[in-house]
Copies of this chain bind each other. A is one copy, B any other.
Amino acid sequence: MAKNIPTKIYLSEEELPRQWYNLRADMKEQHDPFLHPGTLAPIKLEELCGIFIEELSKQELNFTDRYIDIPESVCNFYRMIRPSPLIRAYFLEKILGTPAEIYYKFEGTNTSGSHKLNSAIAQAYYAKEQGLNSITTETGAGQWGTALAMACSFYGLDVDIFMVKGSADQKPDRLEVMKTYGASVTPSPSNKTEIGKRIQQEKPGTTGSLGCAISEAIEVCASRESCKYVLGSVLDYVLLHQSIIGIELKTACEKYDIKPDIIIGCAGGGSNLGGLIGPYMGDKIRGKNNIKFIAVEPKSCPSFTRGKYAYDFGDTGKITPLLKMYTLGNGFIPSPIHAGGLRYHGMSPILSKLYHDGYLEAVAVGQKSVFDAASMFSKCEGILPAPESSHAIKIAIDEALKCKESGEKKTIIFGLTGTGYFDMSAYRMYNAGKMEDTELSDEDLQKGFSSIPDIPQNR
């Protein structure tokens, strides 16, 4: 049992990881390969490099190296924004009256406000190393866009960001932060691309979706010299970079003899969850622990809990490679809830495989209950959480209350991915009592499924 735990555990600079952890090297079975959208054959490195940065494409296809060196320049940047603290939620425990020990790994202390900067800085670094002039990307809630704007500013790289229109409207200040870091930001769908124009024609007044913004970013990228497209979640290489969260977590836990029973994270595209649980999941696969891992998603966008495990496109325009993943269909456009970062139709192929094979559990929660948890947490723990992160808080509280009933003294850890400072329009609605749970109807679910391509699923 853990003893004498400080409220905040900070690793020293010497303890910071110098390598990322590649979970795939420890998986007994790999997820099915990405397919070329034209030939439906497994995609080759040179094909991936057509869209993606070369070194990242290599990382994407590297299933064997357990550890991958973090470039020195990225390590230096990490020293500026990391370590993130592992915080013992003493006050939350007290208010809940639970015998459980609750901890959270807090990634929101940097200016981007979330864990996204961990991967953004690596991607900008590799883009610079490859001699690119610019990169393009999409952003939902805006955390990824902010992180990439900061990273590109650091390395002197131009970046074009397509921001889901609903989010851009809700968060003009978030958009202004990206501009402050020199990024060019376009609400999506826009008139800058063919796919953007088409989607606006098909769905007049649409508030957009990540799938659609991805299509626009790729289209613009393809039209330019010395430009590549980057992604802030879903792909294996993003989970690789985010493993720094999990490595720090495990180092801190081992230092203080903390033995997690449950680890919880919110899941949109899966980058935070994959990074958070990575090293402990590797141990579980090798029979070294029996930790319960829980992915939490919104009821309005329940990829794990109501999606299909199938090959699907990563974007609405159907131009990305096909990924085998839990998906609601590339044409699915979720209702405009406030956790914009969780509004993606698909899910990380690595996490999808782990969920499919029973290593990972998932649960979907309603928006109102998420904000109830966020409000309680903000008052006792002193941090105003992002709506996305609050999904994990909600389930951590539920698990702690189960311990209260059973009397079990479990150790619960969750990922607090970021802060809600740019989500005050959501809090305003909640404070005014206007927040409602939005659940996906069977009809909309089937409509989304109808966009999943009809190709042979077993390969």
Contacts and interface: CB of A to CB of B under 8 A. Distances in A.
Interface of A: 6-8, 10, 12-13, 76-77, 79-81, 87, 90-91, 109-111, 113, 117, 150, 153-154, 172-173, 176-177, 179-182, 375, 378-384, 419, 421-422, 424-425, 427-428, 431
Given A421-B422, A424-B173, A431-B179, A380 B154 contact: yes
Contact of A421 (B154, B182, B421, B431): B421
Given A150-B382, A382-B154, A431-B176, A419 B375 contact: no
Q: Which 3 pairs, one residue from A and one from B, show the smallest C-beta to C-beta distance?
A: A173-B424, A6-B13, A7-B79
A117 B383 CA distance: 12
How many identical chains are in the complex?
A: 2
A384 B150 CA distance: 10
A76 to B, nearest CB: 8
Q: Which of A182, A382, A424 has its CB near the most chain B CB atoms (within 10 A)?
A: A382
Nearest to A78: B7
A333 to B, nearest CB: 27
20 contacts: A6-B12, A7-B13, A7-B79, A8-B13, A77-B382, A109-B109, A111-B378, A111-B419, A113-B421, A153-B379, A172-B424, A173-B173, A173-B425, A176-B427, A177-B384, A180-B384, A180-B431, A181-B379, A182-B379, A421-B422
Given A180-B375, A180-B431, A424-B173, A111 B6 contact: no
Nearest to A82: B8
A425 B154 CA distance: 23
Contacts of A380: 154
B13 A110 contact: no
A74 B13 CA distance: 29
A181 B424 contact: no
A229 B172 CA distance: 36
A427 B153 CA distance: 16
A7 B113 CA distance: 20
Given A6-B12, A13-B7, A80 B428 contact: no
A111 to B, nearest CB: 5
Contacts of A150: 382
A188 to B, nearest CB: 21
Contacts of A177: 384, 421, 424, 427
A70 to B, nearest CB: 15
Contacts of A77: 382
A380 B154 CA distance: 6
Contact of A382 (B12, B110, B379, B424): B110
A165 B172 CA distance: 21
